[in-house]
Structure 1
């Protein structure tokens, strides 16, 4: 053989070897590229979340609490937070879904990067990048899931679908979204694919009861190993998110269905039952170790997870045993599924009778999370927990046509046995799992981030099914020959499949691709507005445990460890206090302000917060706050019942000291607030005096004006005795009625103006807007000066902070005043935004000529944070003017008058101050009006912007101006 011939033969062998290597490994670089693409699309705007001073900028409210837990875990590594006293005042709270494996993994990576002592910058950077990294890594189990259904090419199809899907999964896994959702998706994918593998191994190895009895471990070793790994994967998923117990239930339904199918078709159920018994048994053991809170809560590491897992494990053993008994008695196999269905029904009936808590938890969460058969009233106030309005349109927006091709893929899997193809348990698992994920996505819009897994994996089966139908046979081994053999209809089919799967997620058809969406991510706007107010709270109020001069701040260490109290009610020390706000903002108050909120996004305290904000008098709102922490309901009781609860309570040291309200609470979120405690939103709306094109417009009724929320936020606590404004944000909003579009009107709504105002102080431009709105209100007209139809509206700070104080009582005697005369006590104030306003309090003169007026504002700031009190950003510009008048109408006559300074000590300690009155020099008297003194702001030269400049057209910058990015929804 010549050298040339030998060289040619060697080259042929080398080419074949390279081809073989490429055929075996081509998926690795392709999947690697997909992973890199997924990571890149999600991190394009990384710089928007990093600041020079290290202040976090995150994309979601829950992300802030994960940041809190990650910081805590870093300080106490490797432990995670056992019990949280920096939320849910005055009880504290077990935080359940936070401080799980998800947070531990992030901190562990940071520990490695930081060589055991990561800086805050390192910790924050790792936390930001961990989310897109987990999303990208999800491609690995998705590839193997698709590969199991349709080979390597099917796996490639699956990961490409996953990478291009622009919906919930993408939006929840971009940089800045420091939330456990992406961890849920990653570990669910691992758990499901692990179970698929374990089932296939069991069908191949065929473990049966006799092998277990004879202890033939050589025969059982392989199926046992894979079943144990599947159980560990499921346990890790539960460890990431306690509510992952839902997957345990889905697996339970799968085992019940497939064991019945196996038995009916004459196959021993032992094989699959072995996997269920071992894997779910492992899950029961692992999750039993994780128990932290007694009870059956879905969101806590409690009894539910191990109990449900052991029920599925034992159920698998029982079904295999029953099948053997069925055989022994020669009963018709077709009756076996009916018997199983009857036994399951009986089991639920017994659970209802003997374990009502467990039964209630399962049924309630099935309705709320899994089955689209109804919506919880309070869940309907949570945007992500609502069902999609139009499911067909929703899935197209989420996945393009890939959802419908997934349904075709499920059909292909279901009919495989009818086409004389192999019947595989993992196919049954994928079908049942996919149907449940579809149901979950139809129940709550957020669960589309789970459905993306089924859509991606099952489309591999769709592609394989179409390939089989058209007899497509293309392979690397045959090379050009396989391509030349293609028929026209086969090529057209390939093109059609590609267009169906990918065209709706790519330009020009896609309205938003993943890379486009990745360019638009940014910090949570609401959180950024609240950050200024919360930072003020942290710097200008005493530490919890130090209020009123108490020396107990050390007992409430921000990174401290607190044991779970036996009764679930933490005993806060003297000087501990809470902050009342709506539950949406609880995590922001904890993390940005380092203060303790009452309500939080766990929805703890939501009902009592609703009752407080909708209370129709200061007396009732005060009773509600004083009754908190007693364990009694505060929403439905009468004032007399609340007084009795307070009288019997020993919680006097646990006070709610601050109240924070924003524009959304007073506007667009007010409807949701009313639904938690009632009465409903319609009770606060009426057809008022405002009209548009001859049609009456809905506006806030007197009932709304009487709420504690409106009395504080809209009226600056006018005529309230125990509340004072201590800070307001320097960004503004319009709160009132407004036309959202031509078909929809918002009678109680809010619209941020932060894009329309450039100067961060209460300046002439702001005053001009306020005056324009006030003029329209008085005339009963719609105002369009701000570029939108607005009526019965006010311009005010986006976030206001109030303090609860005892108030100083001004007393005096007006000897010449007839009984029933009115006493007016007023003081001029100025906020940190330079907004001037007047506080007014009124009282009546008694029969003996005496009077008492309780006021919350001091005229000096002699106390501050070092003394255990508030360094208020709202200051009086003079003393109180106290006037006694004979009538509060237009012809009021002044009888006596005087001035009184009020010390901070008098306000916080509830002291009495004697007011010296003298006869009025001028009997003509106009009663003072509470509210913003627009006329005192700016001057004539500052027509628009408060700095002597004007806008280009001489007017205000309209809402939604493209140069400012438009108004927030």
Structure 2
């Protein structure tokens, strides 16, 4: 008896274990998938963490997220309301930074650091949080996939998600401190929550009947899931305010599905209830957390709650209209036409009455949701461009899974057409996928979203194929016969093999291993560190004592006019927008432009100015014309704007200019895209001595050819005069530091007619691996000739100070019009390079001359006094000579004889003092 009981207990125990395994087998598999995805994404962890404690991140926006995260650590739970440490001289509100994403990292860091985390603790948490968020996308992907294709389909979708080596992986690896992974996670959760709420709505009685009979249990369940869907949508928008795109997708979905549901004799009021409650909750929560009143898709402002309430009211209106339509016995076929008519009538009304709102909607749709309306300047951002070479691009991103997903989409649509198989959550997936498809092929960046639709559509296809093979529910582990197993094996082989070695061009593991700290950040690190140490803190320039008014992690209210009133002693740094966040974070100085592309037009106007006079006018007009485009203004118009500056604006000066090698090279055309310049304005053909590679030869021959090269218009730009010519001949700019890292420049041209004509490939660009690979590939083309010329070297980053300049004056016994030349030899401490600065003037009718020079020959001011400790020192005094252009030789008969010298103290170049020669 005891033995039989024991055997029975063992049998029951085994049965319970088996039943538990059948019920929960997917959970350990999901955990393994998440652990694998996390491991893949942290493989390069050691490349970012060094003993020196320095911050190392990938991509420029990561640096600003670091700033907003640290702000929240210092001011938890608040996020940064307004930041005067960028976009000088106005500061900026940055709604899509300092969001729930940053709060998550800051909160975890505070917990790990027991309320007082060190910077290193926050950094380590940041390095691991993004990969963790990427791995957590497994959860909504599985459950969406399982709702479409059963548990086996859901698990197959997760496998694909884990193996995709494309943009989603790239944006969720360690060191990529950006909100993309959180966007995908929370959008997917929101879609899943809406699917569940829709299914609950479909499975119950009419909401009108439920309320009438007071079935609080059933009605409460519908309310609960609708509220949870609204909360999930809100969390997504709190992560990324431009997430209003999801509200638009849901609005489009409800218009379609409520019309279809009404037409097929269903209960649209149930679905409308879900939409009204969910979007009503979203509207209320985003309204409660609204930070600004300006309508913008990137701000946490009125646009988010407004659109949510519009969709919620639209759902309620459609349900009300459907009920009245049916009660009056009207033809149901005309209901969709009536809804379409209401929408089309509303569009011009909104455009006329709310032009700002309509303009924002159009701007959001064009070039972001739909592949039209691209601006020239937007296309200078690589991730905002549409993908090239379609088939190759999608294969590298997804293998064959993209094509099978499209098959899955077609099968799903075909199933929806059959009324008996119609489910609202399936329509939602179709609409969501179509919108994300348009987004992904409008801008490359949105392919990090696209992985989830690709994965879940494959999950659906696999579940459908298994079901068709055996007509057995694919959500159960048991019951899969040999035919179904074969179908599953074939499909997984087709999908997985292209993503695995040796077939894959790059596997997910290899892609995870290749991530490394941003090259630009490493090149800028030393120059920014130098600037932080050797320049006065913002608010302390010229001896002012206002640095406390510009605390780095201080809290600043949003100004009504979005123009921050900087205290006396503040100043800005001019560079190109790509490097603004690096200047803010690494140097703790205030850039004029930034990767939000704020003030990019004015930066371009300065950098491409063809004279120092125009460059100065651009800078003087900046405070009074903030946000404008000086490239379209004449010098007189700029002068008039500068004359209108207030006393506050006159104190808001650009003090430093930083030039990177890429600005002078491959990014120069991006800079000119913000001006009215023609494509060939800054290069032309001229005779050059080049190293020419003919056909497949590897040995070059030196030849003189007529080939494309940077022209005088380029040489006259402020950028070129600063970077290539050390500000020679300029009055207000002095080199104060150059990086000890050196970049090599070259121009490369190609000919396909044996050197008769040459076309530019790289114009005065830094020699990178891409340049070398291109030249190497062309050398293998027997039809091509490659020419390499204009080879030279420059420091990676050069830093200049903008000063008043000292006036050198004197008199000389020389004819009127004679040229007076002042020269001084200078040496850069960091790079140990010597160069000569030269300035000229002409003798007037009284035998007098005057000129302005920016370099000092003796140091008498430094950071302690509110000025700069320059890293460039003069080797002696200015030497002054005179030459009569009409004479055959120097007026004194000897070119080597100077007529005077001058000592220029630093006080003179700062205070506009006069120095007698």
- TM-score tier by shorter-chain length is over 0.9
Residues 1:722 and 2:732 are matched in the alignment: yes
Q: 1:699, 1:736 within 8 Å by CA — same for their partners in 2?
A: no
Question: 1:47 Cα deviation (Å)?
Answer: 1.0
Within 1, Cα distance between the matches of 2:419 and 2:405?
A: 22
Question: 1:393 Cα deviation (Å)?
Answer: 2.3
Residues 1:364 and 2:363 are matched in the alignment: yes
Deviating more after overlay: 236-245 vs 632-641: 632-641
Show the counterpart of 1:823: 820
Q: 1:736, 1:748 within 8 Å by CA — same for their partners in 2?
A: yes
Q: 2:624, 2:644 within 8 Å by CA — same for their partners in 1?
A: no
Distance 1:891 1:549, change over 3 A: same
Show the counterpart of 1:745: 760
- The 5-angstrom pairing of residues 892-931 of structure 1 reads 892-894=890-892, 897-915=899-917
Q: Among residues 537, 541, 545, which one is paired with 2:535 in the alignment? A: 541
Q: Among residues 527, 531, 535, which one is paired with 2:525 in the alignment? A: 531
Within 2, Cα distance between the matches of 1:219 and 1:143?
A: 27
Q: Among residues 652, 667, 681, which one is paired with 1:654 in the alignment? A: 652
Show the counterpart of 2:697: none
Show the counterpart of 2:325: 326
- The 5-angstrom pairing of residues 750-769 of structure 1 reads 750-751=765-766
Within 2, Cα distance between the matches of 1:134 and 1:49?
A: 18
Q: Among residues 664, 667, 671, which one is paired with 1:666 in the alignment? A: 664
Deviations for 1:818-870, whole angstroms, at most 9, x for unmatched residues?
Answer: 11111111110111210111111111111111101111000112111001000
Show the counterpart of 2:880: 882
Distance 1:428 1:703, change over 3 A: same
Question: 1:472 Cα deviation (Å)?
Answer: 6.1
**Aligned-partner SS, 1:470:** helix
RMSD: 2.2
Show the counterpart of 1:510: 504
- The 5-angstrom pairing of residues 776-791 of structure 1 reads 789-791=787-789
Residues 1:587 and 2:597 are matched in the alignment: no
Show the counterpart of 1:641: 637
TM-score by length of 1: 0.88
**Aligned-partner SS, 1:718:** coil
Q: 1:731, 1:753 within 8 Å by CA — same for their partners in 2?
A: no
Q: 1:733, 1:754 within 8 Å by CA — same for their partners in 2?
A: no
- The 5-angstrom pairing of residues 729-878 of structure 1 reads 729-739=739-749, 745-751=760-766, 789-815=787-813, 817-831=814-828, 832-878=830-876
Q: Among residues 546, 552, 557, which one is paired with 2:546 in the alignment? A: 552
Show the counterpart of 1:689: 687
Within 1, Cα distance between the matches of 2:302 and 2:476?
A: 55
Question: 1:678 Cα deviation (Å)?
Answer: 2.4
**Aligned-partner SS, 2:441:** helix
Show the counterpart of 2:237: 238
Distance 1:573 1:372, change over 3 A: same
Question: 1:494 Cα deviation (Å)?
Answer: 2.8
Deviations for 1:556-605, whole angstroms, at most 9, x for unmatched residues?
Answer: 11111111111110011111000000000000000000000000011101
Question: 1:493 Cα deviation (Å)?
Answer: 3.0
Residues 1:113 and 2:109 are matched in the alignment: no
Within 2, Cα distance between the matches of 1:893 and 1:452?
A: 77
Within 2, Cα distance between the matches of 1:11 and 1:891?
A: 114
Show the counterpart of 2:774: none
Question: 1:373 Cα deviation (Å)?
Answer: 2.4
- The 5-angstrom pairing of residues 437-586 of structure 1 reads 437-471=436-470, 473=472, 486-487=482-483, 492-586=486-580
Distance 1:595 1:206, change over 3 A: farther
Within 2, Cα distance between the matches of 1:73 and 1:889?
A: 70
Question: 1:635 Cα deviation (Å)?
Answer: 2.1
Deviations for 1:264-313, whole angstroms, at most 9, x for unmatched residues?
Answer: 11112101000000000000001111211222211101111000000000
Show the counterpart of 1:399: 398
Residues 1:22 and 2:18 are matched in the alignment: no
Deviating more after overlay: 336-345 vs 215-224: 215-224
Within 1, Cα distance between the matches of 2:101 and 2:206?
A: 35
Within 1, Cα distance between the matches of 2:615 and 2:866?
A: 25
User: Aligned pairs, how many?
Assistant: 878
**Aligned-partner SS, 1:796:** strand
**Aligned-partner SS, 1:75:** helix
Q: 1:598, 1:605 within 8 Å by CA — same for their partners in 2?
A: yes
Show the counterpart of 2:90: 91
Within 2, Cα distance between the matches of 1:477 and 1:910?
A: 84
Deviating more after overlay: 226-235 vs 633-642: 633-642
Deviating more after overlay: 545-554 vs 207-216: 207-216
Question: 1:46 Cα deviation (Å)?
Answer: 0.7
Question: 1:680 Cα deviation (Å)?
Answer: 3.4
Q: Among residues 720, 723, 740, which one is paired with 1:713 in the alignment? A: 723
Deviating more after overlay: 673-682 vs 85-94: 673-682
Deviations for 1:443-485, whole angstroms, at most 9, x for unmatched residues?
Answer: 0001000001111122111101111232264989896xx57x5
* Structure 1: unaligned runs, 5 residues or longer: 757-787, 916-969
Question: 1:495 Cα deviation (Å)?
Answer: 3.0
Show the counterpart of 1:925: none
Distance 1:741 1:450, change over 3 A: farther
Question: 1:739 Cα deviation (Å)?
Answer: 4.8
**Aligned-partner SS, 2:673:** helix
Deviations for 1:750-782, whole angstroms, at most 9, x for unmatched residues?
Answer: 2257999xxxxxxxxxxxxxxxxxxxxxxxxxx
- The 5-angstrom pairing of residues 59-74 of structure 1 reads 59-74=58-73
Deviations for 1:522-553, whole angstroms, at most 9, x for unmatched residues?
Answer: 10011100011000010000000111111111
Show the counterpart of 2:287: 288
Residues 1:702 and 2:712 are matched in the alignment: yes
Q: 2:682, 2:711 within 8 Å by CA — same for their partners in 1?
A: yes
Show the counterpart of 2:313: 314
Deviating more after overlay: 536-545 vs 385-394: 385-394
Distance 1:217 1:881, change over 3 A: same
Distance 1:368 1:418, change over 3 A: closer
Within 2, Cα distance between the matches of 1:65 and 1:741?
A: 44
Within 1, Cα distance between the matches of 2:120 and 2:541?
A: 32
Show the counterpart of 1:170: 169
Show the counterpart of 2:775: none
Distance 1:477 1:408, change over 3 A: closer
Question: 1:374 Cα deviation (Å)?
Answer: 3.8
Within 2, Cα distance between the matches of 1:884 and 1:495?
A: 88
Distance 1:401 1:822, change over 3 A: same
